[in-house]
Amino acid sequence: MTYRKKKKKKYRLFWFFAKLQIVLILFVFAAVGYYYYGGYATQVQRMQKEAIAFVKESTEDTFKSAQTSVVYDKHGDTISTLKGEKDVYYLSYEKIPVDACAAIVSIEDKKFYQHNGIDFKAILRAIKAMIENGEVTQGASTITQQLARNIFLTQDRVWQRKIEEMFIATELEKKYSKTQILEFYMNNIYFGNGYYGIQAASQGYFNADAEDLSLTQLAFLCAIPNNPTLYDPLTNMENTISRRNRILKNMYEDGKITQNAYLLAQAEEITLNRPEHEKNNYVETYTYNCAIRLLMQKEGFEFKTAFLTDSEKEAYEKNYDQLYAECQKRLFTAGYRIYTSIDLDMQEMLQNSVDNTLLEFTELSEEGIYKLQSASVCIDNETGYVAAIIGGRSQDFDGYTLNRAYQSYRQPGSVIKPIIVYAPAIEAGYTPETIVLDEKIEDGPVNADGVYSGEITLRESLAESKNTVAWQLFEEVTPKVGMSYLKAMNFAKIAEEQERLALSLGGFTHGVSAVEMAAAYAAIENDGNYRMPTCIVKITDAEGNEILSTKQEEKRVYRTTAARMTTSMMESVMTEGTGEELALQRMPSAGKTGTTNDNKDGWFVGYTRYYTTSVWVGYDMPEELPGLTGSSYPGEIWKDFMEKCHRNLIPAEFLPYLESEKQEKIREDALGIEDEEKAEKEADAQAKEKTDEEKAEENTHDREQSEQQQIEH
């Protein structure tokens, strides 16, 4: 009986495996059929032929060449050159430190000396990890595959590129020795911040040759290439140190270093020492950032500022960092010609205004940086492009690259009121002459000057920066609606939990940047039409073929009448309000002051028909500065700069507005015309009065005359 059971069980197992084999055979046949008849065989054969041709035609010089990219200002003069300088910093294998090679092999490709270009076990491990974790958590590319990708292919994440990468890797292994491949790799791998190769990175981060670096410094550098953004030592030093420690541990476990060397290296402190020529240039850093983001956009990347879940945000940031690093590489090797809107004369004027105004503040931080700092951005209202950008005070300090104009987010104080309180209130039916009540609010804000004026006009409340009125208006408009205007203008640090009344006074969780504020005020000057701030006009290749160009497409954010009424009220800020001492001598101007609690941040943002300029002053680590207000140092910087850049321009009045938003709507309904500018023209033509458009033409004519005079001058 027992024997029969065993025999039955044995037969069941036999038939199970027999059926399984039949299924697997059928699956293989189906896959092969799909491979051939689906056209994939042709694609793969073509890629294999390309791979063979790539490697066959390659020489050692193939791994040394790199094209230089050039950045130009608005007049076509060179601002900077971006080059990897591989030929200058190229090291032969004998001159590459042994510890550097050991470090990179231990962290990137342990089986480098055993495989023939592809590590199939690593691929299986990566697939297994992906199945277990639901996402790609470890790479499977060998050093040879990475070299193939960096030299011969794009960074596109498609299966065709991966297959061709594997073909090239196997061909490279046939043609070149392991030491040659490692030499090519160590000289071409990207170490962030424009440094290609171990020697360029050694000079860039430590101002020394690679052969003179310690074990811990070499391991530190080898931590960067895996993700040059995540492990950028200038911005994420802790991440770089953490990966350095992992590399040192791997080297010890692999028998490449002794335990004593491992412990000493791990305990050694890393101090960057960047060379003198690596000075912070705010034009360059902003230009590179704008160019990289445009290249990302060309790749189809969709930028986001709001997320439903933390996991969604984490995934977005991971993809952002990876693509940002890839596009950054291209800037230093692709030979681009980058044409910008930067006016170097205005740049110098704005930098001088910042430096001279803050000249008396000489206190330094522990890092040797001026403690009191400033950021400022100027936008050309005619084009919508950035004309000048200052990310801090001028200082001879190596390696400090923070550009506060677009990288720092600070509490805006009252400069936020026009864009999320007053303009939205006008859109809801208010006018500059609407009577509002300035009185104490229980559990609400107080006015900065402690004065409550009772019944005043909306114009007066903005001119005198009445916190109580802004609070009540924002409550009526609702924080959700007020915040929608910031979201429409791509403010980066705006989160759902910030929708509260304190926003009306600038009480943000993260804050705003000087670039964002300049673009928002420029939208008000531009009849309510927002244009994305950038300084990139176009990018071409070395032969002049256009890669991409930018058109400042306008996005309607405010109605025309609301924008013009807000401008009119901000004119009153300059003539009878908190900015009274800042009005320009000959040029009509509009603006708003802003000061945060305890005088930690001071802002002034204002504009003329020609330019919009935002200015922030404060400490990098917020602390009180007695006497700091929007009308003090920020206002002084703004006025000094704006007086200089308007010196030879013809005075231009702001465009007038209709009597009320409601009247504008009535006219539109009566005429059946949605376009408000056309409605104004029709109504004014019937009344045989001078139209707003004619006035605009006069001002434009005046401006053209002024620009012509400038050219002649």
Contacts 24+ apart (CB under 8 A), 172-178: 172/55, 172/117, 172/144, 172/147, 172/148, 173/116, 173/117, 173/144, 174/55, 175/55, 175/56, 175/58, 178/112, 178/113
User: Same domain, yes or no, for 512 and 448?
Assistant: yes
Among 550, 573, 595, identify where a domain stops.
595
What pLDDT, in 10s, does the model give residues 253-292?
999 999 999 999 999 999 999 876 544 479 999 999 999 9
pLDDT tens-digit series, residues 237-254: 999 999 999 999 999 999
Verify that 26 and 135 share a domain, yes or no: no
Q: Are residues 462 and 575 both part of a single domain?
A: yes
**Tell me, what amino acid is at 552?**
Q
Q: Would you place residue 37 in the very low, low, confident or very high pLDDT band (cuts 50, 70, 90)?
A: very low
Strand partners, 69: 82
* CATH for 476: 3.40.710.10
**What would the pLDDT profile of 554-598 be if each residue is shown by its tens digit?**
999 999 999 999 999 999 999 999 999 999 999 999 999 999 988
- Same domain as 98, residue 29: no
**Based on the number of CB atoms within 10 Å of its own CB, is 133 exposed (0-12), middle (13-18) or buried (19 or more)?**
exposed
Q: Given this model, what pLDDT does residue 156 score?
A: 52
For residues 482 and 344, give the distance between their C-alpha atoms in angstroms, rounded to a whole number: 36
**Whether the Cβ atoms of residue 461 and residue 438 lie closer than 8 Å to each other:** yes
Q: 595, 620, 650 — which closes off a domain? A: 595
Statement: residue 692 has pLDDT above 50: no
Kind of pairing between the strands at 337-340 and 69-72: parallel
Asked if the structure places residue 559 within a domain, the reply is yes
What is the spatial distance between Cα 221 and Cα 206, in angstroms, rounded to a whole number?
10
Q: How many CA atoms lie within 13 A of 211 on its CB side?
A: 8
Residues in the chain: 713
- 421-436 pLDDT, tens digit each: 999 999 999 999 999 9
**What is the model's pLDDT at position 51?**
78
∠455-459-462 over CA atoms, to 5°? 95
- State residue 121's pLDDT score: 75
Q: Is residue 243 part of a domain?
A: yes
172: domain CATH number is 1.10.3810.10
pLDDT tens track for 169-213: 889 999 999 999 999 999 988 898 878 889 989 988 999 999 999
Q: How high is the pLDDT of residue 464?
A: 96
Residues 476 and 581 in one domain: yes
- Is residue 390 within 8 A of residue 375, CB to CB? The reply is yes
Mean pLDDT of 465-469: 96
Pair 34, 97 in one domain: no
- Residue 349 within any structural domain of the chain: no
- 128 is a domain residue: yes
Query: What's the chain's average pLDDT?
Result: 84
| Cα angle value 179/185/190 (rounded, 5°) | 160
CA 24 vs. chain centroid, Å, equals 50
- pLDDT of 288-328, one tens digit each? 999 999 999 998 999 988 788 889 989 999 899 889 988 88
Owner of token pair 């509260």: 500
* Half-sphere exposure of residue 681: CA atoms within 13 angstroms, side-chain side: 10
- Cβ–Cβ < 8 Å for 511, 409: yes
CA gap 362, 371 in Å, rounded: 8
What is the per-residue pLDDT for 646? 97
Domain with 33, as residue range(s), is 2-38
Average pLDDT over residues 494-519: 89
Residue 705 falls within a domain, yes or no?
Answer: yes
Residue 200 has a pLDDT of 87
- Among the residue ranges 78-82, 468-472, 544-548, 689-693, the one predicted with the least confidence is 689-693
User: Is the domain of 101 the same as that of 31?
Assistant: no
Query: Span 518-534, mean pLDDT?
Result: 97
Q: Tell me the C-alpha distance between 343 and 644, whole Å.
A: 14
- What total number of domains does the chain contain? 4
DSSP 8-class letter at 64: T
pTM of the full predicted structure? 0.71
What are the tens digits of pLDDT across the range 81-134? 776 555 567 899 999 999 999 999 999 999 899 998 888 776 676 555 555 555
How distant, in Å, are the alpha carbons of 145, 581, 639 from that of 643? 58, 13, 6
Contacts of residue 624, Cβ cutoff 8 Å, sequence gap at least 6: 598, 599, 600
Whether 680 and 655 have beta carbons less than 8 Å apart is answered as no
Chain segment 359-416, per-residue pLDDT in tens: 999 999 888 889 999 999 999 999 999 999 999 999 876 544 689 999 999 999 999 9
**CB of 108 within 8 A of CB of 229?**
no
Confidence at 67, pLDDT banded by 50, 70, 90: low
CA 48 to CA 42: how far, in whole Å?
Answer: 10
Last residue of a domain, one of 545, 561, 595: 595
Question: Same structural domain for residues 449 and 518?
Answer: yes
- pLDDT (average), residues 606-630: 96
pLDDT at 123: 67
Contacting residues for 468 by C-beta, under 8 A, at least 6 apart: 438, 439, 440, 441, 444, 445, 446, 447, 452
Q: Both 704 and 558 in a single domain?
A: no
Burial class (CB in 10 A: 0-12, 13-18, 19+), 333: buried
Are 423 and 539 in the same domain?
yes
70 DSSP β-pair partners: 81, 337
Question: Could you give the dihedral angle defined by the CA atoms of residues 58, 59, 60 and 62, in that order, rounded to the nearest 10 degrees?
Answer: -50
For the four alpha carbons of 488, 492, 497 and 498, in that order, the dihedral sign comes to negative
Cβ–Cβ < 8 Å for 554, 300: no
pLDDT tier at 701, thresholds 50, 70, 90: very low
What burial letters (b/e) apply to 28-41, b meaning 16+ CB within 10 Å? eeeeeeeeeeeeee
Residue 99 class from Cβ within 10 Å (0-12 exposed, 13-18 middle, 19+ buried)? buried
Average pLDDT over residues 675-683: 49
- Whole-number pLDDT of residue 544: 87
Q: Specify the pLDDT at position 23.
A: 58
pLDDT band, residue 663 (cuts 50/70/90): very low
Residue 371 falls inside a structural domain: no
Q: Does any domain span residue 368? A: no
Answer yes or no: do 496 and 591 share one domain: yes
Residue 426, amino acid? I
Query: Which pLDDT does position 140 carry in this prediction?
Result: 62
Q: How far apart are CA 685 and CA 453, in angstroms?
A: 41
Q: Which of 114, 117, 113, 112 is nearest to 169 (CA)?
A: 117
In a domain, 492, yes or no: yes
